[in-house]
Structure 1
Amino acid sequence: MSVRNQVQLITYPDSLGGNLKALNNVLLTHFTDIFKGGVHILPPFPSSGDRGFAPKTYLEIEPNFGTWEDIRAIGENYDILIDVMVNHISRQSEYFQDFLKKGRKSKYADLFITLDKIWEDGKPKKEDIEKMFLRRPLPYSSYTIEETGEEEKVWTTFGKTDPSEQIDLDVKSEKVRELFTESFMNFKKQNVKIIRLDAVGYVIKKLGTNCFFVEPEIYEFLDWILELANSLDIELLPEVHSHYSIQYKLAKHGCWIYDFILPYRILDALFNKSSKDLLQYLKTRPHKQFTMLDCHDGIPIKPDLDDLIDTKEARKVVDVCLERESNLSLILSEEHKAHDGFDVHQIRCSYYSVLNCDDDAYLAARAIQFFAPGVPQVYYVGLLAGENDLENVRKTGEGREINRHNFTLEEIEKSLEKEVVQRLLKLIRFRNEYDAFNGEFTVLESAKDEIRLSWKRNEKNCTLLIDLKKYKSVIDYIDENGQASQYFI
Structure 2
Amino acid sequence: MTQTSGELPIEEIVRRKVCGHLAAIYPDRDREEIARELLRAMRLDEDCQTPQSHRNLWDQTDMVVITYADTILSGDRRPLQALHHFLKEHFTMLINSVHILPFFPYSSDDGFAVIDYKQVDPALGDWNDILRISTDFHLMADLVINHCSSQHRWFVNFQEGKDPGRDYFLAVDPSENLSGVVRPRTTPLLRAVSDGDETRFVWCTFGHDQVDLDFRNPQVLLEMVDIVRLYLDMGVRIFRLDAVAFLWKKIGSRCINLEETHEIVRLLRTLIEHADPNAIIITETNIPNRENLSYFGNANEAHCIYNFSLPPLLVNSLVSGNCRHLKNWLMSMPPAQNGTTYFNFIASHDGIGLRPVEGLLSDDEQEALIQTMENFGGQISWRALDDGNRKPYEINISLFDALKGTTAGEDQWQLQRFTCAHAVMLALEGIPGFYLHSLVAGTNDCRRMAEHGHNRAINRRQWQEGDLNRKLADPDSHHGKVFRQLRHLIRVRRNQPAFHPNATQFTLHLGEQIFAFWRQSMDRRQSIFCLNNISDTPQTVLLSSINLIGTDKWKDLISGRHFEDMLGSVTLAPYQTLWITNQ
Note the 1:6-21 alignment, pairs <5 A: 6-17=62-73, 19-21=79-81
Higher Rg: 2
Shift in Å, 1:461: 2.7
In 1, distance between residues paired with 2:362 and 2:145? Answer: 33
Shift in Å, 1:72: 1.1
Shift in Å, 1:471: 7.3
Task: Look up the SS of the partner of 2:241 in the other structure.
Answer: strand
For the pair 1:91 / 2:147, whether they are aligned, the reply is: no
CA contact (8 A) 1:385 1:421 kept: yes
Deviations 1:256-284 (A, max 9, x none): 21111011111121112112221221122
For the pair 1:49 / 2:108, whether they are aligned, the reply is: yes
Task: Look up the SS of the partner of 2:98 in the other structure.
Answer: strand
In 1, distance between residues paired with 2:512 and 2:358? Answer: 24
Q: TM-score, normalized by length of structure 1?
A: 0.89
Shift in Å, 1:465: 1.8
CA contact (8 A) 1:7 1:431 kept: no
For the pair 1:143 / 2:193, whether they are aligned, the reply is: yes
| Residue aligning to 1:120 | none
For the pair 1:182 / 2:226, whether they are aligned, the reply is: yes
Shift in Å, 1:412: 2.1
CA contact (8 A) 1:273 1:468 kept: yes
For the pair 1:409 / 2:475, whether they are aligned, the reply is: no
| Residue aligning to 2:427 | 371
Change (3 A) 1:249 1:201: same
| Residue aligning to 1:312 | 364
Deviations 1:272-301 (A, max 9, x none): 211222122112214421111111111111
Shift in Å, 1:11: 0.2
Note the 1:363-402 alignment, pairs <5 A: 363-402=419-458
Unaligned runs of 5+ in 2: 1-50, 52-56, 405-412, 474-479, 560-576, 578-583
For the pair 1:108 / 2:165, whether they are aligned, the reply is: yes
| Residue aligning to 1:59 | 118
| Residue aligning to 1:27 | 87
Note the 1:316-465 alignment, pairs <5 A: 316-335=368-387, 343-356=391-404, 358-417=414-473, 418-438=480-500, 439-457=503-521, 458-465=524-531
CA contact (8 A) 2:146 2:243 kept: yes
In 2, distance between residues paired with 1:55 and 1:253? Answer: 32
Task: Look up the SS of the partner of 2:357 in the other structure.
Answer: coil
Matched residue type, 1:466: N
CA contact (8 A) 1:364 1:472 kept: no
In 2, distance between residues paired with 1:170 and 1:227? Answer: 21
For the pair 1:132 / 2:132, whether they are aligned, the reply is: no
CA contact (8 A) 1:251 1:257 kept: yes
For the pair 1:263 / 2:319, whether they are aligned, the reply is: no
Change (3 A) 1:169 1:420: same
Matched residue type, 1:465: L
In 2, distance between residues paired with 1:252 and 1:396? Answer: 39
Deviations 1:315-343 (A, max 9, x none): 11111111001001112115597xxx8x2
Shift in Å, 1:109: 0.9
For the pair 1:484 / 2:548, whether they are aligned, the reply is: no
Residue-pair matches, total: 463
In 2, distance between residues paired with 1:363 and 1:129? Answer: 45
Q: Which moved more, 1:394-403 or 1:2-11?
A: 2-11
Deviations 1:390-442 (A, max 9, x none): 12112222111110001110232133232121101111222223222123222
Task: Look up the SS of the partner of 2:535 in the other structure.
Answer: coil
Q: 1:297 aligns with which of 336, 343, 350?
A: 350
Shift in Å, 1:53: 0.2
CA contact (8 A) 1:291 1:369 kept: yes
Change (3 A) 1:99 1:469: closer
In 2, distance between residues paired with 1:196 and 1:291? Answer: 14
CA contact (8 A) 2:186 2:384 kept: yes
Matched residue type, 2:332: T
Deviations 1:430-486 (A, max 9, x none): 222322212322222312211222222243332222223347899x9x9xxx95332
In 1, distance between residues paired with 2:216 and 2:537? Answer: 51
CA contact (8 A) 2:174 2:201 kept: no
Task: Look up the SS of the partner of 2:281 in the other structure.
Answer: strand
Task: Look up the SS of the partner of 2:531 in the other structure.
Answer: strand
Shift in Å, 1:25: 0.5
Percent identity over the alignment is 25
Q: 1:272 aligns with which of 300, 314, 320?
A: 320
Deviations 1:111-156 (A, max 9, x none): 11122xxxxxxx3225x121212334432212233xx653332222
